[in-house]
Structure 1
Amino acid sequence: MKPMTSLLGLVLALVSPVVAIADQGAERLTRLLEPLQTYAADFEQQILDSSGQRLQEAHGQMWLSRPGKFRWEVDEPYRQVVVSNGEEVFLHDPDLEQVTVQPLDTRVTHTPALLLSGSASELTESYDVGRQQQGAAETFTLTPRDPDTLFEELKMTFYSERLGMLQMTDSTGQRTAIRFDDVQYNPSLDDSRFTFEIPDGADVIRESY
């Protein structure tokens, strides 16, 4: 299974104090995400089964520009490039010489990358948000309100108010953990980074929703 497969993705309580905590978590998460316009980082991604055993590990680089533009490059041996220009998403598998093109699904519950490149207000409208703090680390637990989603729980951890980790759990209990390093907040990014040219000779598969 390719590493990007898992990226293409709190029950409401009746007790008022719990609801208040969730509201505060959503407000705090919005304050952390709103100033973020561009982002660049190296990443390490691990896929773990429901028992915590590591199934796969990958490394690469990512860039994003809000709203809706991102580029995700996975290094060997799982080479893959995923690019969104804000309208379409291109997934290039160099080993298969194949490019899959599909419209950008703007539902943040279906495209985890949009958790960063999309609107913070849409994010908090789509999830119940819980918050925990331990020292300089703040972890937000997001539970989708829509049952038609790629994952059942997502955690975002900020270190000194900088995003450092994403963790996604699907319905089978499989977990994807992505740690970011060499993070750049709001760097200057050329728009050409989010343009993808289909290589000559590549098989092109076009999908629609």
Structure 2
Amino acid sequence: MTFGKYALIFAPVALVMPMPGSAQSGSAKMDRVVAHMQSVGTMTSTFTQTDRRGSTLSGKLLLKRPGHIRFEYQKGVPLLIVGDGKALTMVDYEVRQVQRWPIRNSPLAALLDPGQDLRRYGKLVATSTDDVISVEVRDPKRPEFGVITMVFVRQAGAPGGLTLNGWVALDSKNNRTSIRLDNVKYNGNVPNSAFTWKDPRPVRRKS
């Protein structure tokens, strides 16, 4: 496959319950994150992706809960990533390859399912200010699934008083990829047709 530097963002990770008491002191912060997640139906933004070498790509992001997301990369990057409610599809138009896997096996499940209660499945990560809340999702029993950390920033007028600033993914080999969101807008009209894609694979004719 040719998805190397892109696949890290979506490497599988399982949601698991943290050890008892691990997030008790931050219950109010987690409540704010849950309130935000439950208040967001759609989101649009631009994004900047940075890999472990410092290389960056940019593009546009569309999200519609439950289960729909679209990463459209900048001009010249022949890659499209779409979640249609059931599966995530990564399409490489340059080499005409398509890869699919269930959303539930992706770290994006925590982002795409508003009913996913992070009070049970997430773990707060300490930050230097109360204006920033980080939530980490990992499966310690399956380190090959990696780690995903979502970063929320306090913002008046945003759903639940927070806005999603981005996330960081770390694979089992400590390869790090970050996504930074800008120009974030919530709960506008995003049609289901935005989450379709054109299959680049040649059509096989029946003999």
**Length-normalised TM-score, structure 2:** 0.77
Residue 23 of structure 1 aligns with which residue? 27
Shift of 1:19: 4.1
CA deviation string 1:89-128 (max 9, x = no partner): 32210111222234x231xxx4122232113534443322
Mapped to 1, the partners of 2:117 and 2:48 lie a distance apart of 27
Query: Which amino acid letter does the alignment assign opposite residue 100 of structure 1?
Result: Q
Mapped to 1, the partners of 2:18 and 2:201 lie a distance apart of 51
Shift of 1:3: 4.2
Structure 1 unaligned residues grouped into runs of 5+ = 204-209
Query: Which amino acid letter does the alignment assign opposite residue 7 of structure 1?
Result: I
Q: 1:131 to 1:67 in 2, by over 3 A?
A: farther
**Length-normalised TM-score, structure 1:** 0.76
Q: 1:19 to 1:163 in 2, by over 3 A?
A: closer
Shift of 1:133: 5.8
Query: Which amino acid letter does the alignment assign opposite residue 6 of structure 1?
Result: L
Residue 62 of structure 1 aligns with which residue? 61
Matches within 5 A, 1:10-49: 19-48=23-52
Shift of 1:7: 1.9
CA contact (8 A) 1:127 1:145 kept: no
Q: 1:97 to 1:153 in 2, by over 3 A?
A: closer
Shift of 1:170: 2.2
Query: Which amino acid letter does the alignment assign opposite residue 83 of structure 2?
Result: S
Residue 152 of structure 1 aligns with which residue? 147
CA contact (8 A) 2:81 2:91 kept: yes
Residue 194 of structure 1 aligns with which residue? 195
Residue 70 of structure 2 aligns with which residue? 71
Aligned residues: 191
Matches within 5 A, 1:1-209: 2-8=4-10, 9=13, 19-48=23-52, 53-54=53-54, 56-102=55-101, 104-106=102-104, 110-130=105-125, 132=127, 134=129, 137-145=131-139, 147-148=141-142, 150-160=145-155, 161-199=162-200, 201=202
CA deviation string 1:156-178 (max 9, x = no partner): 13241211221122222221111
Q: 1:41 to 1:98 in 2, by over 3 A?
A: same
Greater than 4 Å deviation, 4+ residue runs = 10-14
CA deviation string 1:54-111 (max 9, x = no partner): 2x31111111111111111122444310112112332210111222234x231xxx41
Structure 2 unaligned residues grouped into runs of 5+ = 156-161
1:67 aligned counterpart, secondary structure: coil
Q: Which has the higher strand share?
A: 1
CA RMSD of aligned residues (A): 2.9
